[in-house]
Copies of this chain bind each other. A is one copy, B any other.
Amino acid sequence: MTKWVHRFGQGKADGAAAMKDLLGGKGANLAEMANLGLPVPPGFTITTQVCTYFYAHGKTYPKELEAQVDAALAHIGELAGHSFGDATWPLLVSVRSGARASMPGMMDTVLNLGLNDATVGALARRAGNERFAYDSYRRFIEMYSTVALGLEHHTFEDALERFKESKGYALDTELKADDWRVIVGKYKAIVEQGAGRPFPQDPRQQLWGAIGAVFSSWMNHRAIVYRRLHDIPESWGTAVNVQAMVFGNMDETSATGVAFTRNPSSGARELFGEFLANAQGEDVVAGIRTPQAITEAARRADSQKPSMETSMPAIFEEFRGFAELLERHYRDMQDMEFTVERGKLWMLQTRTGKRTARAALKIAVDMANEGCITREEAIIRVDPASLEQLLHPTIDPSAAPAILASGLPASPGAAAGEIVFDPDEAEKLASDGRKLILVRVETSPEDVGGMHAAEGILTTRGGMTSHAAVVARGMGKPCVTGVAAIRVDYDDQSFSVAGRRFAKGDTITIDGSAGQVIAGVVKMQRPELIGEFAVLMEWADTTRRMRVRANAETPADARAARRFGAQGIGLARTEHMFFEGERIVAVREMILADDEAGRRAALSKLMPMQRADFKELFEIMGGLPVTIRLLDPPLHEFLPHSDAEIASVARAMGADPAKLRRRARGLAEFNPMLGFRGVRLAVAYPEIVDMQARAIFEAAIEAGLATGQPAAIEIMAPLVFSRAELDLVKARIVATAAAVENETGVAPSYQIGTMIELPRAALRAGEIAQTAEFLSFGTNDLTQTTLGVSRDDAGTFLGAYTEKGILPADPFVTIDQEGVGELVSLAVERARAARPQIKLGVCGEHGGDPASIAFFEKVGLDYVSCSPFRVPIARLAAAQAALGKTAESTA
């Protein structure tokens, strides 16, 4: 018989941490904690298999389930010493979701289940606290009715507000036991009216209603969106955890809290958390009351209210011990939930803690230095893509901006943008390319889309573990929470602070590292890559096999490339040097010239500019290899369009504007991607190659003399599909090198290679390698041609392709291994067979994508080249690839 239900509690459990697939993360860790002997309220987990069954069988359950649940419920009763539905001492339970991957707040939860008109009195008597019992009952009615009966949350809130007004109450805490009893009555009336039947009094009926609601919430809209954003398969399903309730809100010796074994923002090795006395866990997470610090150290930095270390010292010590045990046991930073019920500590949850990229880096390096994990594990622990967050701008200290207000530094980095209040509007505006700061009193799971669309998030309520803070850290978005000084007026679409009013559309800057809000756009700076970052990079560098270069042609990019540790330039796009100022006119002259003489005249204007550009590049790279790609013009971008542009070129050429316009029109193409570009230009107009080769060689010689380091030149032909094209180009380059040597007495040292960016080039790589000394895969164009998809035009349909699962990912972000990848590996094989020592690299944007880098390691490329700011990502990803592993999700 299938075991659909796994029990845990009192020092033992059916499950364990390794059974996440079956029990979900929460259930597996509850079982693990129970096995570790930690105080876990007894309970049981209904497996993810039941979820699968549920959806495969029209939302019905396996027939054995009911008996297994009943038995497990009875077992809880035995362990707790009182049973479900017991009229004198009723066992109450929580019913929570728990998927294999954490999906915080995305699915439904029901607490205090088992209360009814009879048991509420029993609870009051047993707890000696009537107010607590009726408050718990009204919470249960509200939660159960919205989750299981589909009623609107606000109906209950409105009723409560009206009642408070009628009594002149401002805060919930002012309500007494009798008030809550009245509210319970009102709530029950709301249910009867809204659901068409009375609120269910049978605890077993309540339980099955809640279980069904939780399973159903796997397919609610926000869960579906979250799964798509986080690549979580629908087929995994969720488990349901039913667990004895413990109450942090029973009295002042009760409390509830969440904590991390290390600081999830900075990564510092310090117990980090928040708690609320006399409260239920939802109060902390929802951010409705600003919680207190757990440790005294944290309190001092912060505020007035006592820390848990001070107010509950024994409990605190016990909890600190559990935290250390859990971190040692799981060998990673833990995120824990706990409740203290009348002086007894209960552990409700532990899981690997989400953290910022900065914290992930520090924790990995620290734990390796502590001997807790190996350096290889440290390398694997950090998601390379997350490093991009560390390359986020920070406020330039020299800017010394006037601080408008302060809050909590909930997610590091600085961001500036227009104020927007509505998350849906944020999504719309962002799709128009607007930079936004989402400003909310607090955020909820419905707001995730708008948070994703914004540059940064500001909330006026909530702490470091509030929804806004947790989600922003996960997204790597700067976030400031709990900025109490700001008063938001949603109706007016504005907020006021320090006597000033900021409306929608006004610009502000937030500093998520310092927790500050600033008016206007503040000057920012790139971070220095030191400390743990430098250490991890060093470990990565000694671990990886592939070299990492940068795609760069401007001096600024080349300098950034060196700063980020690039081992050379893998792609300098000479056409990018052709757009500036007077150059574009000379380029247009060249394109529109009637004959070779006209082209040579235009080229002779470009030659000194190219030479100066190359010289600076070689000097900056000081002897590191520099791969220069011969002109690969997007003809349609270079052509003059406006009358003014045509007139300007005509003047420079002394030509007839009308004739030029005709020629420009004649050069327009239907499919520029597949047109007269790349090496085709060199075949038709080899004098361009002569000019560029001469500029390169002369620049290299000059740079070599200037720096004392001989330049390492690699000249690359674009868009070849045959060896013959490369042979033609090579002959011109070799002849030019000989001429330069003849003139200067210096023999430039250089290699000649080619891009592999057309399917035919990949197929003929064996032949091409007989001429080429290196090959660089241009996977952008190779993707366009292999899939027949124009990157510029893919917007109309590529979304549907990833949504419908036709493609696993955007093939322009992560290499399409099955198509483009096969051509790459086939080309590698053939090129190596023809020339075993050939140098092989990639210079498409895939060169900076971790998943693609893992593939390039597998096929044995020698290097990847990517944009300068992705070089650190590539260094780490290459190390992980060399270890044969990718970063585990830190979720």
Contact = CB atoms under 8 A, between A and B. Distances in A.
A674 B760 contact: no
Contact of A786 (B673, B760, B822): B760
Nearest to A758: B788
Which of A724, A759, A822: most chain B CB closer than 10 A? Answer: A759
Given A683-B806, A758-B787, A787-B760, A792 B724 contact: no
Contact of A819 (B673, B759, B800, B801): B759
A675 interface: yes
A800 B674 contact: no
A505 B863 CA distance: 65
Interface in A766-815: 781, 784-790, 792-793, 796-797, 800-801, 804-807
Contact of A670 (B673, B764, B785): B673
A721 B819 contact: yes
A680 interface: yes
A596 to B, nearest CB: 13
A674 B684 CA distance: 25
Contacts of A674: 671, 673-674, 784-785, 788-790, 793
A728 interface: yes
A672 B789 CA distance: 9
Contacts of A446: none
Given A724-B806, A787-B721, A805-B724, A823 B671 contact: no
A672 B684 CA distance: 25
A479 B672 CA distance: 42
Which of A684, A764, A787, A823: most chain B CB closer than 10 A? Answer: A787
A247 B530 CA distance: 100
Nearest to A820: B760
A818 interface: yes
Interface string A711-735: 0000000010110110010000000
Contacts of A764: 818-819
A672 B670 contact: yes
B790 A667 contact: no
A139 B789 CA distance: 68
Contacts of A451: none
A61 interface: no
A669 B818 CA distance: 27
A344 to B, nearest CB: 55
Contacts of A797: 676, 680, 683-684
A763 interface: yes
How many protomers of this protein does the assembly include? 2
Interface in A220-259: none
Interface string A651-669: 0000000000000000101
A680 B671 CA distance: 18
Given A667-B796, A758-B788, A785-B786, A722 B806 contact: yes
A680 B800 CA distance: 9
Given A672-B671, A676-B796, A797-B684, A785 B763 contact: no
Contacts of A675: 790, 793, 796
A816 interface: yes
**Range of interface residues on A (Cβ < 8 Å):** 35 or more
Contacts of A804: 683, 724, 728
Contacts of A757: 788
Contact of A788 (B785, B801, B806): B785
Contacts of A818: 760, 763-764
Interface string A733-772: 0000000000000000000000001111001100000000
Interface string A8-36: 00000000000000000000000000000
Which of A669, A683, A790, A793: most chain B CB closer than 10 A? Answer: A793
A823 B786 CA distance: 11
A792 B680 contact: no
B671 A792 contact: yes
A793 B680 CA distance: 12
Contacts of A760: 786-788, 816, 818-820
Given A671-B674, A763-B819, A788 B722 contact: no
A722 B823 CA distance: 15
Contacts of A787: 721, 758, 760
A180 B586 CA distance: 66
A221 B801 CA distance: 56
A690 B794 CA distance: 24
Contacts of A724: 804-806
Contacts of A721: 786-788, 819
A670 B790 contact: yes
A786 B758 contact: yes
A325 to B, nearest CB: 48
Contacts of A819: 721, 759-760, 763-764
A778 to B, nearest CB: 11
Contacts of A667: 796
Interface in A798-852: 800-801, 804-807, 816, 818-820, 822-823
A763 to B, nearest CB: 5
The 9 closest A-B pairs by CB, nearest first: A760-B819, A674-B790, A671-B790, A759-B759, A758-B788, A675-B793, A670-B792, A724-B806, A669-B793
Interface of A: 667, 669-676, 680, 683-684, 719, 721-722, 724-725, 728, 757-760, 763-764, 781, 784-790, 792-793, 796-797, 800-801, 804-807, 816, 818-820, 822-823
Given A671-B673, A675-B796, A759-B786, 16 more contacts: A669-B793, A673-B788, A674-B793, A676-B793, A683-B800, A684-B797, A721-B786, A722-B806, A757-B788, A759-B785, A759-B788, A759-B819, A760-B788, A760-B818, A785-B785, A785-B788
